[in-house]
Amino acid sequence: MRERLSGIGACVFDAYGTLLDVRSATGRLAAELGGKAELVGGLWRTKQLEYTWLLSLMGHRRDFWQVTRDALDHAFGVAGLDDDALKEKLMRRYLSLDAYPDVAPVLAELRSRGLTTAILSNGTPDMLASGVESAGIAGYLDAVLSVEEVGVYKPHRSVYQLACDRFGLDRGQICFVSSNGWDVAGAASFGFQTVWLNRFDAERERLPGTPALVLGGLADLSGSIDRG
């Protein structure tokens, strides 16, 4: 594992769980969930990701908004909750997730150094537009890229190719940052210089493609990158 990344032209970030706190949706409505916020939040996120992988493998198309709703339906079923109004509140809350406190300052610093910044996400364009605007980070991003352009979810290689095509950069010139170990593995296997943002001290994934850097927060990211 290296201490610095060199030759970087763009820093590309995953959105959900990396820049935007997916736990903030259930956290804001914890009282209405009657003590089941942690259970629902965990299941919701787990099934959301599982469904993207399975749909990709099965060759089925459902956008991330529908996948997110399906995963929430499953989580409510497991938790024994039957409240359509509360589900609608949670879905609306997913459009305005909180950004982690370190996000805006680091994006601003990267931009001040002349680095291109972008999001590359499973989210639909509408979800991402709402999320970055609500989080107050839209002005710090040069682009917001959605898997909807290729019709398959991460970690398919065509998703990561979107960033190369958009910015006219080789794979090795892109720093890709994600809090999801499986996403980092996919991006590293594709050829990006990857940073695993391990905010919660998670166990590493046993997959091909290892991160070049592991950080506990974004504060040290800019100082770990040398421009190309």
Q: Which residues belong to the active site?
A: 14
Identity at 72, one-letter amino acid code = L
Residue 138's Cβ-side half-sphere holds a number of Cα atoms within 13 Å equal to 12
Reply yes or no: is the peptide bond before residue 101 cis, omega within 30 of 0: no
Write the CA distances from 55 to 9, 62, 142, 163, 195, integer angstroms: 33, 8, 30, 23, 27
Identity at 160, one-letter amino acid code = Y
Q: Residues 218, 104: contact at Cβ < 8 Å?
A: no
SS (H, E, C) 162-213: HHHHHHCCCHHHEEEEECCHHHHHHHHHHCCEEEEECCCCCCCCCCCCCCCE
Task: Read off the DSSP letter of residue 140.
Answer: G
